[in-house]
């Protein structure tokens, strides 16, 4: 019965495209009371991927939570993708996931087999990450949703922040863009089977290998590219360092065929929210097509890591990443901010 359920038909939004827009989120959080603690190295006021709390001189806890409505119809694959996406925030901080708690909203349209398949998918990815699911919480909801609260370990001196990009750094991306466009096309029946298989496998692919390579190099800043799109997350990196990011659009890895699909107007709603958030801080050179710009704003679900590393160390890091992730690519660099723009797309 689980295989017959079309989960995506039970949800208004899909995957990370369901995120509250970055601009709206900032307004909602503005003015909320914040309490300080000298051991809290990273809190929600920093707009980073996870919080970090120091336990000892050599150990800090890295905590995050992420859940969303179905982005694929198969319940097991949905569980895998949602878990991989939640685990990614710990990897982006340079940490290792250790414990996880299930967050599950069960639709009355789902039978027991479908619910168990979602949970099995989550367990599958958490086990692959070397972590343990220790419990969780479930409620009934009109729309199904699934994700994890994840706790990881990281050395306090080796925490990677998303706001530490520095002038002269090279930006490296580890997964192709175009997830939101591909999923939108799939829903409309306009994506070929090869693309559907590839985007599903990519979303379920852990950022563990990328993280394990990354921590062997002096990477200065890192984030994972998810619901705010490539330019939304690059903007957070640039703002933190009071610098500007130059995005070389011709070097951006894309899922096969998504540029043509974007040209057809098969764009997720989240793309428009991301554009409204980042467009005012972005200068786009003549010759960069509208479809390419749309893909840079496209919300990604379980996207790759975006790393900022010195120009000296970038070639060695890129070679090491490509041994594990052939699609890894240097996609831009960091310069001094000028003319008020944090992002420059060439």
- Which pLDDT score, from 0 to 100, does residue 172 have? 98
Catalytic residue, candidates 13, 16, 105, 222? 16
Is 164 inside any structural domain? no
Q: Crossing angle of helices 269-278/22-29, nearest 10°?
A: 60
Is 287 inside any structural domain? yes
The number of distinct structural domains making up the chain is 2
Based on the domain organization, do 259 and 189 belong to the same domain?
Answer: yes
The pair of structure tokens assigned to 219 is 């990477």
State how far the Cα of 160 lies from the Cα of 27, in Å rounded to an integer: 26
Based on the domain organization, do 227 and 313 belong to the same domain?
Answer: yes
- Which pLDDT score, from 0 to 100, does residue 207 have? 98
Based on the domain organization, do 120 and 234 belong to the same domain?
Answer: no
Q: Global pTM? A: 0.91
Based on the domain organization, do 299 and 186 belong to the same domain?
Answer: yes
Based on the domain organization, do 123 and 193 belong to the same domain?
Answer: no
State how far the Cα of 343 lies from the Cα of 227, in Å rounded to an integer: 18
Q: In the annotation, is 222 catalytic?
A: no
CB-based burial, 304-323: b 16+ in 10 Å, e otherwise = bbbbbbbeeebeebbebbee
**Would you write out the chain's pLDDT as a tens digit for each of its 346 residues?**
344 667 877 666 654 455 555 555 556 556 666 777 899 998 877 678 889 999 999 999 999 999 999 999 999 999 999 999 999 999 999 999 999 999 999 999 999 999 999 999 999 999 999 999 999 999 999 999 999 999 999 999 999 999 999 999 999 999 999 999 999 999 899 999 999 999 999 999 999 999 999 999 999 999 999 999 999 999 999 988 889 999 999 999 999 999 999 999 999 999 999 999 999 999 999 999 999 999 999 999 999 999 999 999 999 999 999 999 999 999 999 999 987 899 999 9
Based on the domain organization, do 40 and 109 belong to the same domain?
Answer: yes
For residue 47, give the CATH number of its domain. Answer: 3.30.1330.10
Based on the domain organization, do 151 and 184 belong to the same domain?
Answer: no
- Which pLDDT score, from 0 to 100, does residue 3 have? 47
State how far the Cα of 129 lies from the Cα of 212, in Å rounded to an integer: 11
Based on the domain organization, do 250 and 215 belong to the same domain?
Answer: yes
């Amino acid at each position: 019965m689980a295989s017959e359920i079309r989960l995506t038909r039970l949800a208004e939004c899909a995957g990370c495209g369901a995120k509250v827009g970055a601009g709206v989120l900032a307004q909602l959080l503005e003015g909320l009371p914040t309490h300080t603690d000298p051991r809290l190295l990273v809190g929600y006021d920093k707009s980073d991927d996870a919080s970090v709390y120091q336990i000892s001189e050599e150990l800090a806890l890295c905590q995050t939570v992420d859940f969303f409505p179905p982005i694929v119809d198969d319940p097991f694959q949905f569980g895998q993708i949602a878990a991989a996406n939640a685990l990614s925030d710990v990897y982006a901080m340079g940490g290792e996931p250790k414990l996880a708690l299930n967050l599950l909203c069960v639709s009355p349209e789902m039978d027991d087999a479908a619910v168990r398949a979602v949970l099995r998918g989550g367990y599958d990815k958490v086990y692959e990450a070397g972590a343990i699911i220790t419990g969780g919480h479930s409620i009934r909801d009109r729309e199904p949703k699934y994700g994890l609260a994840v706790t990881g370990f990281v050395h306090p001196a080796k925490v990677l922040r998303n706001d530490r990009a520095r002038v002269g750094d090279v930006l490296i991306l580890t997964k192709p863009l175009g997830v939101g466009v591909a999923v939108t096309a799939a829903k409309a029946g306009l994506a070929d089977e090869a693309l559907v298989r590839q985007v599903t496998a990519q979303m379920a692919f852990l950022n563990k290998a990328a993280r394990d390579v990354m921590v062997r190099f002096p990477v200065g800043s890192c984030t994972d590219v998810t619901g705010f799109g490539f330019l939304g997350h690059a903007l957070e990196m640039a703002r933190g360092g009071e610098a500007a990011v130059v995005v070389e659009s011709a070097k951006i890895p894309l899922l096969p065929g998504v540029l043509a699909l974007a040209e057809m107007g098969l764009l997720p709603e989240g793309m428009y929210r991301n554009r409204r958030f980042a467009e005012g801080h972005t200068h786009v050179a003549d010759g960069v097509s509208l479809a390419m710009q749309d893909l840079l704003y496209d919300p990604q679900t379980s996207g790759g890591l975006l790393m900022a590393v010195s120009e000296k160390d970038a070639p060695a890091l890129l070679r090491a990443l490509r041994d594990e992730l052939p699609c890894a690519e240097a996609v831009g660099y960091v310069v001094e901010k000028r003319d008020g723009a944090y992002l420059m797309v060439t």
